[in-house]
Structure 1
């Protein structure tokens, strides 16, 4: 993992609001259906060579509270439905974790690494809970950027 100063940028995608407790139960999980809808509605409208992101923002409190999740991209056509919304990645300092492997297990494992890192008593960084994001850099490569104070 590395600390990076990231400039702000804008994306467009579909949004849902959830919390980690709900995501642990398949009956109440919102993130998997969000990505399924994004794949069905957005992927056919990609233009050029799009970058795909998962964005976590508008945190109610911390990892235990409600937050918004976006399945989004930097390049979508302008004829998307009104359900597609813009989301801004805030400028700031981020701790960037990376992994390679079969999806979605690589994402799940990487988030486990993130949670373990920040829950360790000797953790030198504190989460800011502003905007965190996944960047899908290829079919088997991902980074997770966590905003830090």
Structure 2
């Protein structure tokens, strides 16, 4: 894990509203199907530095509430698709958790690491719940960026 400061990014893609409870049940999960739909309609050229994004935003509260998920790329990489939604990744401080391996298991494992990190009583960061995102840099690697804010009193 590392902490970085990011400038604002603009992402275009397809979105759904969901929650973690729904995503744990195959019959109600939406994120996997969203990734499949986007993959059928757009090609991400990893060799040219493109990144496939999974953006989590418009949090109802925290990880227990509803949130939106947008699967997409920077607009220059998805010009062939029509009717895209757009989301801005806010500038700010992010913790980056990384993993490599078979999808989707590596993503599940990285999110498990994130939840363990933030549930630790000694954690020195607070999640901001502004926008978090997955950046798929290849078909077998992912970086998950979690927006954080200054740690004050718990």
With the shorter chain as reference, the TM-score category is over 0.9
**4+ aligned runs moved over 6 Å, structure 1:** none
Residue-by-residue CA offset, 1:20-64 (whole Å, 9 max, x unaligned): 0111111111101111111111228x7x93321110000000000
Find the counterpart in structure 2 of residue 2 from structure 1. Answer: 2
TM-superposed deviation, 1:139: 1.9
Residue-by-residue CA offset, 1:86-115 (whole Å, 9 max, x unaligned): 111100000111111111111110010001
User: How many residue pairs were aligned?
Assistant: 146
Which aligned pairs between 1:45-60 and structure 2 lie closer than 5 A?
49=48, 50-60=50-60
Give me the TM-score of the superposition, normalised by structure 2: 0.89
Find the counterpart in structure 2 of residue 140 from structure 1. Answer: 140
- Measured in 2, the distance between the counterparts of 1:36 and 1:142 equals 17
Unpaired segments ≥5 residues, structure 2: 150-154
Find the counterpart in structure 1 of residue 82 from structure 2. Answer: 81
Unpaired segments ≥5 residues, structure 1: none
- Measured in 1, the distance between the counterparts of 2:63 and 2:72 equals 21
Give me the TM-score of the superposition, normalised by structure 1: 0.92
Q: CA RMSD in A?
A: 1.7
